[in-house]
Amino acid sequence: MQIADRNVPSRNTILQAWTAHWPSTQQPIAPMDFEPDIAMTSESAEVQPLLPKAQKPETTGLPKAQMGVILFARLAEPIAYTQIFPYINAMVEELQIAPPNQVGFYSGLIDSIFAIAQLCTIMHWGALSDRIGRKPVVLIGLSGVSIATLGFGLSNTLWQLLLSRTLSGALCGNVAIMHSTVSDITGEGNRGKAFALLSLTWWTGVMIGSLIGGMLSHPVERYPKLFGHVSLFKERPFFLPCFVSVMISAIAILTTLFFMEESLPRVVKARKSTPSMEELDGVIGTPNADQDDQPKSTANERKSTLALLSDPAVAPVIFMGFCMSFLINAFTATFVLWTYTPLRLGGLQRDPAEIGLVISERPALHACVAFWGVAYALIPLVELVVWKVLRPTQYSESAPPLKGIWGLVLCILVAQRIGSMAYPAYMLVVKEAVHDPATVGALFGLATAANCLGEGTAPAIASSLFALSIDRNLLGGNLVWVILIGLAAFATWFASGLKRRVENVE
């Protein structure tokens, strides 16, 4: 836009008058060929941003030494948790806790009690770590798991088995503490990589635990030259895998004690500043501590949790987490039970060593969840092939080798492994449901609690259904698979519309 008014003085005339009036205080401004005022003002307003651009989080390397200590401590829990899977059914039967057609109910009960106890205490361990620090709670958890696992290997009655697993779950809240610790020592640029390493460590522990439980149970019969003279292993044939698991936990305790650094921000802040009585009092939680650094009260945390549960965008996400956890843990319980069940009752009649080897080798959310239905549907089909190919054995007979049928079993495990990929996809959906950054911790805590609820209820319910189907011959013993296929179909349908439900609320 041009302003053609001859009465308006030129810019050079204005600049010369300005220089003549303040010759000593200002440097002369050289005449410049400006664009008109209005054009300059509008262009400057368009070019100059109102707010600075948000910078991307800087990607930095992980603290390798501390991550190594944390991951090794994380490894101990899944080893202790899963080392019982290959032999728990044989243990229930050999201790004469239940007859073969009712083994599933009791083994599922023993498996579930761990997760139920952990569900009841995990929030309290997290709150305690905010007060006394991460490192002490990790040490308490590892010590509790070690003592409880040792007691499990020495147990010979049902109530002793249940007590040991209850203590193991109640005393260990490390699944939440490890995530908090990693969150403390990482930034936005490398936190995702660190969380992925935690998940990888869990599955590595599952593999190692399954191998330990399968290969080291009944050591006198399996390795007579090494353990044939050890009377303890004759009286307690399932003690050795528990003992090896305890040794791994003991090494993790020592590693954590001597090499793990406290990561609680309040403690780290006090350590970096000049030590004084006020700061030392703040570290141990006396009234002189900085009130801004203190954790929120339990009442506020409970209020935040209830508010999240009432959020229509959060509730379906948490429910989906429960469904996914239920399907995952129901498969683990029923698959192990099915492989152990005698051929005459529709199982594969495998020993703990074979079961341990098999379970140690095992995309979009709804697509992954759909594979759980495929995995459950394949089991009765493989069962039908077994009935046609192999002769049912009597109670005292050993089972014939499966040979090529192992290939069909592998297909089941491939479908199960693809279904397990739903978990990282689900965590992305959880992140999308976050509206307030202040509620991130509470929301992930709810997701973890839903996972524990599914982990605690699935083995007992699914194993009981398996035992009921076999005992009453419901649908030819296949009622449990029909119900689980139906649950998988429902979860697939629910997952397909989950993102839409979250977006509609937003």
Helix, strand, or coil here: 429? helix
User: Which residues, at least 6 apart from 42, have a Cβ–Cβ distance to it below 8 Å?
Assistant: none
Report the alpha-carbon distance of residue 390 to residue 378 in Å, rounded: 18
CA distances in angstroms from 378 to 330, 399, 465, listed in the order given: 15, 21, 18
**Number of domains making up the chain:** 2
Tokens of 194: 């660190």
* Low-confidence winner among 172-186, 292-306, 315-329 (lowest mean pLDDT): 292-306
Residues 102 and 250 grouped into a single domain: yes
Residues 85 and 189 grouped into a single domain: yes
Residues 167 and 252 grouped into a single domain: yes
Residue 241 sits at the vertex; the CA angle it makes with 240 and 244, to the nearest 5 degrees, is 85
- The boundaries of the domain holding residue 77 are 66-264
pLDDT of residue 44: 47
Residues 345 and 253 grouped into a single domain: no
Report the predicted TM-score, pTM, of the whole model to 2 decimal places.
0.67
Report the alpha-carbon distance of residue 33 to residue 40 in Å, rounded: 12
Separation of first and last alpha carbons in the chain:
44
Residues 441 and 347 grouped into a single domain: yes
Length of the chain (residues): 506
Most confident option among 386-390, 392-396, 427-431 = 386-390
| Residue 269 included in any domain | no
| Residue 51 included in any domain | no
Q: Which residue has the tokens 């002769």?
A: 391
| Residue 80 included in any domain | yes
- H/E stretch holding 75 reads helix 64-82
Checking if the pLDDT of 288 tops 80, the result is no
User: Which of 245, 264, 283 marks a domain boundary?
Assistant: 264
pLDDT digits (tens, 9 = 90+) for 54-89: 455 455 567 888 899 999 999 998 899 889 988 998
| Residue 31 included in any domain | no
Indicate the pLDDT class of residue 262, thresholds 50, 70 and 90.
confident
- Who wins on pLDDT, 174 or 51? 174
CA distances in angstroms from 12 to 16, 19, 125, listed in the order given: 6, 11, 75
User: Which of 212, 246, 264 marks a domain boundary?
Assistant: 264
pLDDT of residue 273: 67
Report the alpha-carbon distance of residue 202 to residue 419 in Å, rounded: 17
| Residue 61 included in any domain | no
- Mean of the per-residue pLDDT values of the chain: 76
Please, are residues 89 and 97 in contact by the beta-carbon 8 Å criterion? no
Q: Which residue has the tokens 């109530």?
A: 159
- Nearest CA among 412, 404, 425 for reference residue 481: 412
Residue 254 sits at the vertex; the CA angle it makes with 249 and 204, to the nearest 5 degrees, is 40
Return the CATH number at 210.
Answer: 1.20.1250.20
Indicate the pLDDT class of residue 324, thresholds 50, 70 and 90.
confident
Indicate the pLDDT class of residue 155, thresholds 50, 70 and 90.
very high
Indicate the pLDDT class of residue 153, thresholds 50, 70 and 90.
very high
User: Which of 264, 284, 315 marks a domain boundary?
Assistant: 264
Residues 339 and 487 grouped into a single domain: yes
Residues 314 and 358 grouped into a single domain: yes
Q: Once rounded to an integer, what is the mean pLDDT over residues 361-365?
A: 52
Q: Once rounded to an integer, what is the mean pLDDT over residues 172-194?
A: 77
pLDDT digits (tens, 9 = 90+) for 412-421: 888 877 777 6
Report the alpha-carbon distance of residue 386 to residue 288 in Å, rounded: 71
CA distances in angstroms from 153 to 108, 146, 162, 215, 268, listed in the order given: 17, 11, 12, 15, 40
pLDDT digits (tens, 9 = 90+) for 13-35: 544 554 555 544 444 444 444 44
* Low-confidence winner among 137-146, 254-263, 334-343 (lowest mean pLDDT): 334-343
Tokens of 358: 């098999």
pLDDT of residue 150: 94
Report the alpha-carbon distance of residue 16 to residue 164 in Å, rounded: 93
| Residue 396 included in any domain | yes
| Residue 422 included in any domain | yes
Report the alpha-carbon distance of residue 476 to residue 497 in Å, rounded: 35
Residues 165 and 218 grouped into a single domain: yes
Most confident option among 98-107, 175-184, 474-483, 492-501 = 474-483
Residues 398 and 466 grouped into a single domain: yes
Checking if the pLDDT of 435 tops 70, the result is no
Q: What is the DSSP letter of 475?
A: G
